[in-house]
Homo-oligomer: A and B are copies of this chain.
Amino acid sequence: MAVQTVATTSDSTTVDLGPAAALSCRECGHRVPLGPVFACEECFGPLEIAYDFSAYDTEQLRRRIEAGPANIWRYAPLLPVPADVAEKPNINPGWTKLVKADNLARELGVTGGLYVKDDSGNPTHSFKDRVVAQALEAARAFGFTTLSCSSTGNLAGAVGAAAARAGFRSCVFIPHDLEQGKVVMAAVYGGELVGIEGNYDDVNRFCSELIGDPAGEGWGFVNVNLRPYYAEGSKTLAYEICEQLGWRLPDQIVIPIASGSQLTKIDKGLQELIKLGLVEDRPYRIFGAQAEGCSPVSTAFKAGHDVVRPQKPNTIAKSLAIGNPADGPYVLDIARRTGGAVEDVTDAEVVDAIKLLARTEGIFAETAGGVTVGVTRKLIEDGVLDPAKTTVVLNTGDGLKTLDAVAGTGLTATIRPTLDSFREAGLA
């Protein structure tokens, strides 16, 4: 991927992104001013946001959060956004339900409390709204006027919706042969939706070229040049889970892995809450979940490797199908450091888990949610996950977007409209 490290559209030292102080390289610690850049000029490591939280008083901060809006902007003091972010037009995701899943707990033998963090309640029904909402604020701060991304579906819809609300032009790039349903979901918001003759890798490569070209000037690619800001959106999952548990860390969290960014940012969020004194500092374990058909991180974890070997994805869990996950090594670190694990399940287990969650809790999850629930079940059966501990499982998307996965589900009976026919079918 081409790397651009210099801000081009504004003087990045004057942007107001609240507590965000600079960009800092995750590998070498080199700091640069806030700007639309994503790779370290020294070592090409990934840049992430460095914050200044030094002025915060714990109890004041807690009260300020609790008095905030019922969306991610309640955590504005901990995000790279201006203090008045809630007043600006945005899609305002988050504050989704943390469902106490007692029926599922019974089926899985969990006695310590099982919760599903259900991100299907977001505006476009996936966790992507969280990250796009952040990227949008960065785009605004840097003076961009077009919001863009490469996508295979969920992200395209989130970008289209957020851009529409905020009055940005959007131009989203997708493989030209996506399923019609996904195209419609992305196109309905009225932005430019460009099909690229090629696969997702070709789309990505093209976007990197466009960023380096004058034609891409003024464009914020949420998952490329705005990636450091975008990725921070996943921290809000950690904040919400802890606040919804009564400002308490869960003992165990099961998180799906695509690029691995979400898992690493949830860990970052938990660490921040500890440092800020908003939760008690005690151990928690982080578990990563993959589909067997795209399990590079799980494979490395089980083999005891530090390096993640790329795979060619082949799974129904398409929103997780990243064969070369950028944050894979960081995920391995976190799983090992916290005493967690990374596990995978087959597509058949994914489908079973979708049905299990729907049947027990009335939550219809995307395939990614089937992956986390399926992995949770497997980890319990294998004695890896402790059923006596408080456990949170993420559902990051909505079953309506991956209907094909459960297309075999159907009528339990067909009868004539008479009581006799009803009785004959054994339904009485």
Binding site for B on A (CB under 8 A): 70, 89, 91-92, 95, 97, 102-103, 121, 123-125, 157, 160-165, 167, 171, 176, 180-181, 183-185, 187-190, 192-198, 202-203, 205-206, 209-210, 213, 215, 354-355, 358-364, 398-401, 403, 406-407, 409-419, 422-423, 425, 427-428
Contacts and interface: CB of A to CB of B under 8 A. Distances in A.
Nearest to A407: B184
A185 B364 contact: yes
B121 A161 contact: no
Contact of A359 (B89, B189, B359): B189
24 contacts: A70-B70, A103-B164, A121-B123, A157-B364, A164-B358, A176-B414, A181-B403, A183-B410, A183-B411, A184-B407, A184-B409, A185-B364, A185-B399, A187-B409, A188-B364, A194-B411, A194-B412, A194-B413, A194-B422, A196-B415, A197-B414, A209-B419, A215-B422, A400-B401
Contact of A418 (B97, B121, B206): B206
> Which of A124, A210, A400, A423 has the most C-beta atoms of chain B within 10 angstroms of its own C-beta?
A400
Contacts of A209: 418-419
A71 B401 CA distance: 25
A230 to B, nearest CB: 17
Nearest to A188: B358
Given A165-B103, A180-B407, A188-B399, A415 B194 contact: yes
Contacts of A183: 409-411
B195 A415 contact: yes
Nearest to A92: B97
A159 to B, nearest CB: 10
A410 B193 contact: yes
A97 B362 CA distance: 22
Contacts of A423: 215
Going nearest first, the 4 A-B pairs with the smallest beta carbon separation are A161-B362, A190-B359, A215-B428, A165-B362
A361 B164 contact: yes
Contact of A400 (B91, B165, B185): B185
Given A103-B167, A181-B403, A399-B188, A362 B410 contact: no
A189 B362 contact: yes
Nearest to A354: B188
A419 B219 CA distance: 15
Contacts of A409: 183-184, 187-188
A204 to B, nearest CB: 9
A68 to B, nearest CB: 13
A223 to B, nearest CB: 17
A407 B364 CA distance: 24
A364 B165 contact: no
Contacts of A197: 414-417
A364 to B, nearest CB: 5
A195 B413 contact: yes
Given A92-B97, A188-B358, A358-B189, A194 B414 contact: yes
A159 B98 CA distance: 21
A356 to B, nearest CB: 9
A403 B185 contact: yes
A239 to B, nearest CB: 16
A293 to B, nearest CB: 22
A194 B417 CA distance: 10
Contacts of A422: 194, 206, 210, 215
> Which of A91, A205, A425 has the most C-beta atoms of chain B within 10 angstroms of its own C-beta?
A91
